[in-house]
């Protein structure tokens, strides 16, 4: 499911406008931690309705579920916002 979601992410070219760990396009926000920040219902609404800037994606229910599984997996892999990191005096960082 996660890999299927990743391929939908790639095919839909979400990265053209969104970042993962700060890398990608800058028209939309970084989506690394969107799963916990916003939740699956909010993400689904964006995919189905779009906005003035973000296009509507005509994805099947199963494809949306796969994309959500990918975003959940991505979210669990770490935090993307360096402003939330603690910088220690010896130069190391903690998340």
> Where on the chain is the footprint of ligand HEC (CB under 6 A)?
12-14, 16-18, 27-29, 31, 34, 38, 43, 46-47, 51-55, 57, 67
> Is the Cβ of residue 53 or residue 93 nearer to ligand HEC in the bound state?
53
What are the backbone dihedrals phi and psi of residue 33, each rounded to the nearest 5 degrees, phi first? -115, 20
> Is the Cβ of residue 52 or residue 93 nearer to ligand HEC in the bound state?
52
> Is the Cβ of residue 26 or residue 85 nearer to ligand HEC in the bound state?
26
Sign of CA dihedral 46, 31, 22, 10: negative
C-alpha atoms less than 13 angstroms from C-alpha of 30 in its C-beta half-sphere:
12
């Amino acid at each position: 499911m996660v890999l299927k979601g990743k391929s939908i992410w790639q095919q839909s070219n979400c990265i053209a406008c969104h970042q993962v760990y700060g890398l990608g396009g800058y028209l939309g926000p970084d989506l690394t931690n969107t799963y916990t920040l916003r939740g699956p219902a909010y993400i689904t609404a964006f995919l189905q309705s779009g906005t003035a800037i973000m296009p509507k994606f005509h994805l099947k229910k199963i494809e949306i579920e796969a994309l959500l599984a990918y975003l959940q997996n991505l979210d669990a892999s770490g935090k993307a916002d360096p402003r939330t990191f603690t910088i220690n005096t010896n130069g190391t960082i903690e998340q």
